[in-house]
Structure 1
Amino acid sequence: MLTKSSPISTQSNLFHSELFSQLDVKDPLIQLANTINWTVFDDAFEQHYSQDNGRPSKPIRLMVGLLLLKQLENLSDERVVLQFKRNPYYQYFCGYSNYMPGMPCNATELVHFRKRIGVKGFNLIFKMSVALHGKQAQESSVLIDTTVQEKTSLTPLMPNLPLKSSIALISWQSVMAFNNAEPMLKRLKTAALAFVTSAMLKSVPKQKALTRLRTIANKLIRELQRKLPQYLLFEIYQKHFLFYQRVLAQKPKDKNKIYSLHEPDVYVIAKGKDHKQYEYGNKVSIVSTKDTNIIVGVASHDKNIHDSKTLTVAISHANSNRNKPIKQAVCDRGYVGAKVVLGANIILPKKALKRDNRYQRDKKRKLCKRRAAIEPIIGHLKSDFRLSRNLLKGQVGDEINV
């Protein structure tokens, strides 16, 4: 059942002082809380709640405020709930007029709220943040660049996936009370130990141990398919078996490989630098204004496509958050091939044309130099605002984290 967010009262209380009278009114969080139109979120998200039955929910302003603080302060769900208890500025930001000594909610309620509002809800929050900047976010010229949002998966190694697949299949056998779960686990440990001990030796025993791991996993799949009832096999577990068979059959030089069992949509992006040649995650587009450096659009891409093909999604998302369409986008040489996208001229660094005069050449050179301003913005997003490591699951988690 929906709990309405109560507005903060400025009237003084006879028995205790209000939070607003004890805090610094010039603090950025206080000013931001007074600037945001919180009723927009109440009106947009009330459709996700029942109106007359069920347990009373937490106020929508509290949940939205905690999500904003989580991103602003680079905190986990558990930490932002704990900091709310200790920090009165957090409590005022989330709509509390009096100090509350307890926890506002359980950390898992933030997970449920993210699933409840979905990607559309986070797009609304992002659009509100762009609208706070007013005319400064309406520049006709923008800067666009791509980066990689890495996932929390281990660096892919060939024995990891067969080993983890076998462990998952053995756990199924244990749950279903099949007899050969323990002997298979013993064989699996022996094969895994053989691979570890042969890792420093020649490649022949190492490859032999890896083949043994795959053999055990395939045998587990065949036994489960033979012993499971037909209705369970085809209605529930068939897609899981097909997934594990694909993992075990893939080779190092195959395309569209699976790098993680719990994140099968992760793909590899070649970085081309000595300290980190490859990154595992998904590609992200960032759109910022040219002069004021305000981020007006973001886009998450589920496939490793060429940069020039990411412009349509990035520019359309930026246009949806603004009143004026983008007329000019400055990009780097990775966007070669794009000229005009959704009415926006794409400016790329290249040799000056012979017909250009001195003024036109200087203008293009100045624009291309200005493009470098988006690089530190991406660096701050990664180091300070949770873009370097995505902890949310699936493609929906990729879009929400961006």
Structure 2
Amino acid sequence: MEELLKATIDTAVSSKAVRPAEFERVIVDTTVQEKAIAHPVDSRLLEIARHKVVAAAKRAGIALKQTFVKEAKTLRRRAGGYAHARQFKRLRKVLKRQRTILGIVLREVQRKIGEARHEASAAALSNLQTLMQRAERMRRQRPKDKDKLYALHAPEVECIGKGKARKPYEFGVKVGVAVTHRQGLMVGARSFTGNPYDGHLLAEQLQQVRILTEDTGARLKQVVVDLGFRGVDAHNPGVQIIHRGKFKSLTALQRHWLARRQAVEPAIGHLKQDNGMERCWLQGATGDALHAVLCAAGYNIRWLLRAIVRLALGGLVVPLFAALVMLLHLLAVASGVGKARAFRAGCAAL
């Protein structure tokens, strides 16, 4: 998928919408690509875990003595009422009972899983084992624990602090974004699992930028960042890292460059609102990585369309159409559908 992002960059250079010298200085920042999961409330997670394990056991041919359907429904409603009324002592009592019920179901399935090995398919048993491991992990975790599980279908989701009053936390994966300093063309976007410190991911982000811009003939020299990237100059030799913590030692020209650091913020906003990074629906960590790159490619295609209008670049239409055809081809290969069907769907969308 990075080939598509690279094609949009090469198209911008070949059409002279951006000068190769602009790739010598970039702005790097991070954001959170949220996953398509519901808000992880303990009561809801425990109920979903019970429901999924019971359904998987039924598909594997395991008959359970009790499934606790009626009691679980009542407990879920009571938990919502107690949380809304801020009656936390009563809420903890309900959560304790939900954990007990989930434990009873898990132990019964574990006892009877040996009897079903000869009757059920290997896929059904494998799915049941995976669900049981995640449900047991969910049953044992507590509010203050680290590396919690926030969704049964997406174990890669992490809780990342945002710090805003309206949204203290975001649930997804951290994504690094790099744009050119002057015109804001997207030259890098990749996901980072494990919620690393911003400074520790800078070297990998710059490596991606160098790979994507290698055909432009420019060499990366300066990187403008925020204070989250402090203290990593030794890990990035050959690149000048400019941030506000060095303000007194910066030259007048470097301070002028630093004044445009926040130009990456509206780019991230458009990346989320206009190009789909606000919510990732693709599965797994691989889906997160593909989604970040595709959103960046979509951003650049919109940038190229604006460049056509701004500079009246008639010759840009053909390479842009070629980039769109490549996008449809890559999407067809990734999703397993035929090229002709994907092309027709893309043309209809255009």
Which has the higher Rg, Structure 1 or Structure 2?
Answer: 1
Structure 1 position 224 matched with structure 2 position 109: yes
Distance, in Å, in 2 between the alignment partners of 1:366 and 1:397 is 38
What letter matches 2:133 in structure 1?
A: L
SS at match of 1:144: strand
SS at match of 1:346: strand
| CA shift for structure 1 position 197 | 3.8
Distance, in Å, in 2 between the alignment partners of 1:299 and 1:342 is 21
Distance, in Å, in 2 between the alignment partners of 1:395 and 1:156 is 19
Structure number with the higher helix fraction is: 2
Distance, in Å, in 2 between the alignment partners of 1:153 and 1:205 is 27
Structure 1 position 399 matched with structure 2 position 289: yes
SS at match of 1:350: helix
8 Å Cα contact 2:191/2:288 also seen in 1:
yes
Percent sequence identity over aligned pairs:
30
Alpha-carbon spacing, 1:230–1:311, altered in 2? closer, same or farther (3 Å): farther
Structure 1 position 164 matched with structure 2 position 48: yes
Distance, in Å, in 2 between the alignment partners of 1:337 and 1:167 is 48
Distance, in Å, in 2 between the alignment partners of 1:196 and 1:300 is 34
Q: Which has the higher contact order (CA 8 A, sep 6+)?
A: 2
What letter matches 2:165 in structure 1?
A: D
Alpha-carbon spacing, 1:346–1:137, altered in 2? closer, same or farther (3 Å): same
Structure 1 position 136 matched with structure 2 position 12: no
Distance, in Å, in 2 between the alignment partners of 1:291 and 1:267 is 33
**Deviates most, 176-185 or 297-306:** 176-185
Report the aligned-residue RMSD.
Answer: 2.2
Structure 1 position 126 matched with structure 2 position 5: yes
User: Unaligned 5+ residue runs, structure 2?
Assistant: 293-350
Pick from 294, 311, 317 the counterpart of residue 208 of structure 2. Answer: 317
8 Å Cα contact 2:193/2:285 also seen in 1:
yes
Distance, in Å, in 2 between the alignment partners of 1:125 and 1:165 is 39
The corresponding residue for 2:135 is 244
The corresponding residue for 2:78 is 194
SS at match of 1:132: helix
Distance, in Å, in 2 between the alignment partners of 1:389 and 1:288 is 21
Distance, in Å, in 1 between the alignment partners of 2:289 and 2:247 is 38
**Deviates most, 151-160 or 338-347:** 338-347
User: Unaligned 5+ residue runs, structure 1?
Assistant: 1-121
SS at match of 2:251: helix
Distance, in Å, in 2 between the alignment partners of 1:397 and 1:294 is 23
What letter matches 2:190 in structure 1?
A: A
SS at match of 1:299: strand
| CA shift for structure 1 position 344 | 1.4
- Kindly report which structure 2 residues correspond to 1:235-314, keeping only aligned pairs within 5 A, or say none: 236=126, 237-314=128-205
| CA shift for structure 1 position 238 | 3.5
The corresponding residue for 1:387 is 277
Distance, in Å, in 1 between the alignment partners of 2:212 and 2:62 is 56
Q: Deviations over 1:18-60 (max 9, x none)?
A: xxxxxxxxxxxxxxxxxxxxxxxxxxxxxxxxxxxxxxxxxxx
8 Å Cα contact 1:173/1:181 also seen in 2:
no
8 Å Cα contact 1:265/1:395 also seen in 2:
yes
8 Å Cα contact 1:297/1:317 also seen in 2:
yes
